[in-house]
């Protein structure tokens, strides 16, 4: 396997794999080589719809790898998503590689899974672009995976068809297949298959947690980064998901119990339209009995997860105070009334954990509570569990720097461009010198972790391991601070146990 410039004077570059030759592009100014739209599995169409990913067919001769492949089937769910993909299709299992020429040995590898609630997203989004990390001598890979009804439909007939007695989680299986591809092929791009770190934000972070918990992914990566999300609260069983899937199938108008053959003949467009109806349940990862034999929380409690270093955290404004209070004014009385509605006799205990005596304090407390209820609490549970049983170092952060022009904190997903060094490819915001400084710091932490399994390095504030009782607050004055959330998170644990 080798990588070479294909012809002097042309902005092309070639990578030779065992069964394929890819012709990508070279940025002469930076030296970064990119290979886009690489198929890592067969198109999941026709008879392969709702089946585990199958190997891609090798092709003879060189193929162009200068453009992103199609994005997965999805409805327009999030206004902040910008795609560079060639349209949308069920034929979506493609990945993208950015790399520099290694000067001395193979380079560490970052594999990034996009967010979007498992219903939207794509590896072509500019905020995930891998060129900046490649300039840090890190081979960077973004991966497409099936979404929504195409990636996470469970159904009794699909379970019966499967030799493993499982259905659903096809999107997670796609990610695992991409990791196998990386193991087998990344050396052709200068990457070290023994130094692969997986990372992602939101659904991508939940995916990282699921990959750590799955026995099918053991040995495919050496480190993990989770940005805002884990699967530690998800205990939805296969039988429940099958019932939802059967109801969805019966509502397609092709019979009360349509055959798999009929379901696989429905057009992708019709399936997507049906999945987008307001009465359709959200399709999401489940405990399917095969990819995830048991709930990830149980896997981590038993120490059966992939034992790799973990860096994870959440943002200071994952949720908004308006999510809790709606159109009501942020008065103490309104805040207490909502807590009583949500927590009944435990409302006073929750108020003590999230106290407020003025309207600005109500906004802060409600924001903290909604951030925790949404995703921050479960992210902490993941770090806590991995620290107890994983036998490897863990690092925990709070990202607190808002995008310009500023807000009450760092909203959900706000850290992505900073962490991957992609402020310049996201022109929506008027970035300031402070933004670039925060980005340099966070990207260096991430890059160091990918290289060594430890975020620390020269010129950076020291980041203590989570086991010391500290986490890193990342903003214009990045610093280590005591972890002060344990009491309120343990309260939320107790309240969840009562549900």
Q: What is the C-alpha separation between 490 and 488, in angstroms, rounded?
A: 5
Write out the two tokens for 35. Answer: 């290979």
Active site residue 318: yes
Element containing residue 361 per DSSP (H, E): helix 359-371
Q: Label residues 11-40 b or e (16+ Cβ within 10 Å = b).
A: ebbbbebeebbbbbbbbeeeebbbbbbbbb
What are the CA-CA distances from residue 111 to residues 142, 185, 223, 344 (Å)? 6, 13, 10, 44
User: Choosing from 124, 167, 202, 230, which is the catalytic residue?
Assistant: 202
Active site residue 320: no
Q: Are 296 and 234 within 8 A, CB to CB? A: yes
Q: Are 448 and 456 within 8 A, CB to CB? A: yes
Active site residue 202: yes
Indicate left, alpha or beta for 289 from its phi (over 0: left) and psi (-120 to 50: alpha).
Answer: left
Q: Are 185 and 17 within 8 A, CB to CB? A: yes
Write out the two tokens for 435. Answer: 């933004």
* Those residues with Cβ within 8 angstroms of residue 370's Cβ, 6 or more apart along the chain or in another chain: 318, 319, 320, 321, 323, 324
Alpha helices in 148-251, H assignment, sequence order: 148-152, 156-161, 170-185, 203-213, 238-250
User: Choosing from 90, 318, 370, 415, which is the catalytic residue?
Assistant: 318
User: Choosing from 412, 417, 426, 444, which is the catalytic residue?
Assistant: 412
Which are the catalytic amino acids?
A: 202, 318, 412
């Amino acid at each position: 396997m080798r990588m070479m410039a294909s012809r002097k004077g042309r902005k092309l570059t070639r990578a030779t794999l065992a069964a394929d030759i890819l012709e990508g592009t070279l940025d002469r100014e930076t030296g970064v080589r990119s290979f886009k739209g690489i198929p890592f599995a067969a198109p999941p169409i026709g008879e392969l719809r709702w089946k585990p990913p199958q190997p891609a067919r090798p092709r003879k001769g060189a193929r162009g790898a200068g453009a992103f492949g199609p994005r997965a089937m999805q409805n327009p769910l999030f206004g902040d998503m910008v795609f560079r993909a060639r349209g949308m299709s069920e034929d979506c299992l493609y990945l993208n590689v950015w790399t520099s020429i290694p000067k001395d040995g193979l380079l560490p590898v970052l594999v990034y899974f996009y967010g979007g609630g498992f219903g939207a997203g794509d590896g072509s989004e500019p905020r995930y672009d891998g060129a900046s990390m490649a300039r840090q001598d890190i081979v960077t890979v973004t991966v497409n995976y099936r979404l929504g009804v195409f990636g996470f439909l469970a159904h009794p007939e699909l379970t019966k068809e499967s030799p493993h007695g499982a259905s659903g989680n096809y999107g997670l299986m796609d990610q695992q297949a991409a990791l196998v591809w990386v193991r087998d092929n990344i050396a052709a791009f200068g990457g070290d298959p023994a130094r692969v770190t997986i990372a992602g934000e939101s659904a991508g972070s939940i995916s990282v947690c699921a990959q750590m918990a799955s026995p099918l992914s053991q040995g495919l990566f050496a480190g993990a980064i989770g940005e805002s999300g884990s699967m530690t609260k998800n205990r939805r069983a296969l039988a429940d998901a099958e019932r939802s899937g059967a109801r969805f199938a019966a509502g397609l108008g092709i019979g009360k119990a349509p055959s798999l053959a009929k379901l696989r003949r429905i057009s992708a467009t019709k399936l997507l339209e049906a999945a987008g109806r307001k009465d359709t349940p959200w399709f999401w990862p489940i405990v399917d009995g095969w990819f995830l034999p048991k709930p990830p929380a149980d896997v981590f409690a038993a120490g059966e997860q992939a034992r790799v270093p973990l860096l994870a955290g959440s943002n200071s404004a994952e949720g908004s105070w308006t999510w809790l209070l709606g159109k009501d004014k942020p008065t103490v009385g309104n805040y207490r009334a909502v807590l009583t509605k949500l927590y009944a006799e435990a409302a006073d205990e929750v108020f003590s954990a999230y106290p407020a005596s003025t309207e600005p304090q109500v906004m802060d407390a409600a924001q903290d509570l909604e951030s925790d209820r949404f995703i921050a609490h479960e992210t902490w549970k993941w770090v806590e569990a991995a620290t107890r049983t994983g036998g490897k170092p863990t690092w925990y952060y709070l990202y607190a720097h808002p995008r310009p022009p500023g807000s009450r904190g760092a909203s959900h997903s706000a850290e992505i461009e900073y962490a991957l060094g992609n402020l310049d490819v996201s022109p929506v915001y008027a970035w300031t010198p402070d933004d670039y400084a925060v980005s340099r710091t966070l990207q260096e932490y991430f890059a160091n972790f990918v290289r060594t399994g430890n975020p620390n390095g020269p010129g950076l504030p020291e980041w203590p391991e989570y086991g010391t009782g500290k986490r890193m607050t990342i903003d214009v004055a990045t610093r280590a601070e005591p972890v002060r959330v344990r009491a309120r998170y343990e309260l939320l644990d107790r309240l969840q146990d009562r549900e």
